[in-house]
Structure 1
Amino acid sequence: MTKTQIIHRARWWPACFPTPKPASAFGVGGGNNGLGDANCMEQLLIHCATAIDANDATLAQQILWVLNNIALPDGDSNQRLASAFLRALISRAAKSGTCKMLTAAVGNANVAISTHKFSVTELASFVDLTPWHRFGFTAANSAILDAVEGFSVIHIVDLSLTHCMQIPTLIDAVASRLEGPPLIKLTVAGATEDIPPMLDLSYDELGAKLVSFARSKNVNMEFRVIPSSCTDGFSSFIEEIRSEQLVKGNNFTNEAMVVNCHMMLHYIPEETLSPISSFDTCNPNSSYRTMFLKNLRRLEPTAVVLVDEDADFTSNDIVYRLKSAFNYLWIPYDTMDTFLPRGVGGGSKEREWYEGDLCWKIENVVAQEGVKRVERAEPKSRWVQRMRNAGFRGVGFSDEGVAEVKGMLDEHAAGWGLKREEEHLVLTWKGHNVVFATVWVPTT
C-alpha cells in the first residue's frame, strides 16, 4: 500500500451511514406547470429581492405569496432550494423598514433556522456523506505528505471549517513512514464565530482525543488552540506564530510548517471594514484577505494548502449575489436527493442537519450586510491571483495524489467528477465546479 492510499480509506471515528449508492442523474427542473422550474423560481426570487430593496411592499408581498405556494420546504430539490431563499428574503424584508409587515404574510418560510451541534462521531459521519469535504481532505493530505517528506517535525497550522476532521487520516499516513513517524505539532485557529458545522465539545476536549488517537498509532503529537477571529484576518493568530518563530531562531531547521486552509479563508472580510490594528500597518488600505496572505508569507511556510468553494458571493449588489448563490447552491440540494433520498429510513434527521446548515449559509448571503455577512466565497481564479500577489507560486499535485482523489470519488454516487486546471484540482458535480484544491510554496 502506498503512503497516500491510506489517506481516504482510514476511518478514525465510526461512520453511521452507509456508503451512498450511484443514482441516475437528474436535472434542475420541477413541475407545477412551469412555476416549479428552477429558472422561473430564480426570476421570482430576483424580482422579489428587487422589490424588497425598493421598499415596494405591495409587489414584494405578491411575489412572496406566489413563492410561498410553489417553493415547498419538503418538496423536490428545486423547491427546497427556493424555499431556503424565500426564507432569507423574508428575513431581509424584516430588516428593511417599510417591508416589516411582510414577515406576517408568509407562513412556512418564516421559521427560525435551526443548526445542529454535532458530536465528534456525528460530524465525522456528516462530512463523509459526500466528497464536498473529503475531496479537500484527500487532496490536501496527499500534498502535505509530499511536502514534509524527510522532516522529523511537522507543524500543521490548521484553519479549517470542519474542526480537525482531516487530521486523523493524516496521522494514520505518517504513522507508516519507513523512516519512522515524525513529531506532529498541531496549532488550531479556534474561531470565535459560530459558523456551521458546529461542534458540541471544546477544542481542548477535541485536542485530547486527537492526541490520544495519535498515541495509539505510536505518533507523538502536541496540540494547542489559539483563540482567533476571521473578522480581523486572523491577525493575532498569525502574529503569535510569528513571535514564536523569532524566539526559536534557527534551532528547528528540520521542522516543516504546513498551513492548511480548508474552507475558512472566505470568512475573512474581503474589504477593509475598520482601522487595521495588526502588526502589518504598512498599507492601511489593504483588505483583510490581502493582509492575511502577506503575513502568512512572512512565516516562510514549507507549503500552504488552500481548499475552498468555487463560487462568488462577494458582490454588494443583492441581485447579482442572489443569482450567484442560487446557481451554485442548487448543487448540494441536488446531491442530497442522490446520497440521502427522501423516504429512506433514518435519513430525515441527517437531511434536517444538512439543510439547516445550508439555510444558514443562504440566509447569511441574502439577508445580511456589513460585518454580519460573513459568507463571502471567491472563485478559484481570484484566490490564485491573491496567492501570487502575496509571493506564492502554485505547485502541482502528484499523479499518486490525483489517483487517490479519483479513488475516493469512486466511493460516492455517480455525478461527481475531477478535473485539472493548470496545477490545481477541481471537484465537479455534473460538470459544474464545486470545490477547488491548490498547493502553494513561497517564491524564492
Structure 2
Amino acid sequence: IQGDPPQRLAAYLVEGLAARIASSGRGLYKALKCKEPPTSDRLSAMQILFEVCPCFKFGFMAANYAIAEAFKDEERVHIIDFDINQGSQYITLIQTLASRPSKPPRLRITGVDDPESVQRSVGGLRIIGMRLEKLAEELEVPFEFRAIAAKTADVTPSMLDCQPGEAIIVNFAFQLHHMPDESVSTVNQRDQLLRMVKGLGPKLVTVVEQDVNANTAPFFPRFVEVYNYYSAVFESLDATLPRESADRMNVERQCLARDIVNIVACEGTERIERYEAAGKVEARMTMAGFLSSPFSAHVNETIR
C-alpha cells in the first residue's frame, strides 16, 4: 500500500470494512499478526514501531522514568510484566540504572510468556531474557529474569514468586486492552487481573494504553475513534520513516493493519483490541483499590 498517511489509513479501514461484511475479520486478524523473531541484529516490525513512533515511544519512556524513580532507596526490585513484547523497554531501563552514580538495586523481572504471544513461536521469552541478562552483565547490574509459561488470565500470585523484602512493580504496557471485560463476559478478566495485582501489594503499577474508546462504543463512533487515533499514528510514521521504506510497510501491515481490522471487522469475543478512554481505565484502577499517582516534577521535566 502506497500514498500519504490518510490514503494508507483509508486502505486499511476499507480492508476492515470488507472483512466485516464478509465476516472474515478474525481470520484476517490472525493472518496479519506480527511473526518477526526478536533477534539482536534485525528488529522486528513491532520493535521498530515502538522505537520510531512517538505515540508508543513516549509511553514507554514515561513508564520507565516512573519505575526508575520508584527504585530509589530500594535494594531489591521485582518488576512483573504481563506483556513484555520485545523487551526494549527494559534495555533502556537497565542502561538508566547503570548510568547512575549510586549502586543499582538487584533487579528481577518476571515476564508472562502467553502461548498466543508473538514471541512463543520463535522461542518465547527465553531469547528476550538472555538478551537482557547479557546486557545487565555487561553493565554490571545485578539481574535475574524468569518467564512464566501461562495465559495472562491463568496467572496466580504463587506463580509470580514474590519474595519478602523486594519492592514489587507491575508494568501494564499496551496489555490491559487485550483482556476481556464485563462487556464481553461476566467473568471480566480485566478487573480480575487488576484485583489480583492489587493483592500483591505493589509499590507502583504503571499503565500505558491508547486513550481511545474502542471497547464499548457502537460501531460508527468506534470507527470514528479509530480513524482519529490512527491518523495521528500514521502521520507520526510519515515523519520518521520514508513512505517507500520496507520497514514502514512491514510495520503498517503486520502491526497497525491487524489492529485496525480487528477493531473494525470484529465483534464479541473475536474483537481482541479493546482500547478504553483514560477516564474508564482510571475508574477500573480505582475500583480495584489503586490510588492515582501523578508524575513527580523530576519525571515531568525529564520527559518534556
TM over 0.5, shorter chain? yes
Name 1:93's counterpart in structure 2.
21
Pick aligned residue for 1:137 from 27, 42, 60: 60
Counterparts of 1:80 and 1:312, CA distance in 2: 22
Pick aligned residue for 1:289 from 190, 195, 208: 190
Higher strand share: 1
Pick aligned residue for 2:270 from 368, 372, 396: 372
Name 1:355's counterpart in structure 2.
252
Counterpart amino acid of 1:258? I
Counterparts of 2:136 and 2:33, CA distance in 1: 34
Gaps of 5+ in 1: 1-72, 97-111, 275-284, 407-444
Name 2:170's counterpart in structure 1.
259
Counterpart amino acid of 2:89? Q
Superposition TM-score, scaled by structure 1 size: 0.61
Name 1:39's counterpart in structure 2.
none
Counterpart amino acid of 1:268? M
Please say if residues 161 and 263 of structure 1, whose CA atoms lie closer than 8 Å, have aligned partners that are also in contact. Answer: no
Counterparts of 1:161 and 1:363, CA distance in 2: 23
Name 1:117's counterpart in structure 2.
36
Name 1:180's counterpart in structure 2.
103
Counterparts of 2:69 and 2:121, CA distance in 1: 30
Counterpart amino acid of 1:78? P
Structure 1 residue 324 displacement after superposition:
1.8
Counterparts of 1:179 and 1:358, CA distance in 2: 41
Q: What is the DSSP-based 3-state SS (H/G/I as helix, E as strand, rest coil) of the residue aligned with 2:228?
A: helix
Q: Where in structure 2 are the equivalents of 1:45-444 lying within 5 Å?
A: 73-95=1-23, 113=32, 115-121=34-40, 122-123=43-44, 124-160=47-83, 162-194=85-117, 200-229=122-151, 234-241=152-159, 244-245=161-162, 248=163, 252-253=164-165, 255-271=166-182, 273=184, 285=186, 287-315=188-216, 317-343=218-244, 347=245, 349-356=246-253, 357-406=255-304
Counterparts of 2:150 and 2:88, CA distance in 1: 19
> Which one has a bigger Cα radius of gyration?
1
Q: What is the DSSP-based 3-state SS (H/G/I as helix, E as strand, rest coil) of the residue aligned with 2:104?
A: coil
Please say if residues 38 and 127 of structure 2, whose CA atoms lie closer than 8 Å, have aligned partners that are also in contact. Answer: no
Counterparts of 2:15 and 2:117, CA distance in 1: 20
Structure 1 residue 113 displacement after superposition:
4.2
CA distance change for structure 1 residues 145 and 176 in 2, over 3 Å: closer, same or farther? same
CA distance change for structure 1 residues 294 and 137 in 2, over 3 Å: closer, same or farther? same
Q: What is the DSSP-based 3-state SS (H/G/I as helix, E as strand, rest coil) of the residue aligned with 2:292?
A: strand
Percent identical among aligned pairs is 29
Q: What is the DSSP-based 3-state SS (H/G/I as helix, E as strand, rest coil) of the residue aligned with 2:20?
A: helix
Superposition TM-score, scaled by structure 2 size: 0.87
Counterparts of 1:176 and 1:340, CA distance in 2: 30
Gaps of 5+ in 2: 25-30
Counterpart amino acid of 2:200? L
Give me the CA root mean square deviation: 2.5
Higher helix share: 2
Q: What is the DSSP-based 3-state SS (H/G/I as helix, E as strand, rest coil) of the residue aligned with 2:206?
A: strand
